[in-house]
Homo-oligomer: A and B are copies of this chain.
Amino acid sequence: MKAHTKYLWFNTKRHRDYINITPEVEKALKESKIKEGFILVSAMHITAGVYVNDAEPGIIQDIDEMLERLAPYRPDYHHHHGMGSGNGDAHLKNILTHHQVIVPVTDGSLDLGPWQQIYYAEFDGQRKKRVIIKVIGG
């Protein structure tokens, strides 16, 4: 079994941001020379998410508005008392989106459907954050 590990760094200009990282995941897969296996794409912070959806106009805004509706940015979370960081909503948005996806690798390529793209979702940006990409297989 072969394995290949890579880390991506982010430091977004905006507090919340959604970045298509499919090209970076494809690049890590090519470096691994793995033909059959799984590639894990996983946020290493608890205020960010990783998800698969498509790149059509409006979807990012819809996702952002839903997350803001279900876990709004506001100052009265328990987490804020004592921590003072004000990012309680980002922890909850991480729970709702999940922080990772597995992409199947078939014949040396990402085995994604026609519209599937891999996104990094930043919920508490303007600081250094990291994602791990790890491929295992043969």
Q: Are B56 and A83 in contact (CB under 8 A)?
A: yes
Using Cβ atoms and an 8 Å threshold, which residues of chain B touch A78? 57-59, 61-62, 65
Interface residues of A in 41-55 (CB under 8 A from B): 42-46, 51-54
Q: Does A21 contact B (CB under 8 A)?
A: no
Does A8 sit at the interface, judged by CB under 8 A?
no
Q: Would you mind naming 20 contact pairs between A and B with Cβ atoms under 8 Å apart?
A: A1-B1, A3-B138, A5-B106, A36-B136, A38-B134, A42-B102, A44-B113, A45-B116, A46-B52, A53-B91, A56-B79, A57-B82, A58-B80, A58-B83, A59-B78, A66-B70, A66-B92, A104-B132, A111-B134, A113-B130
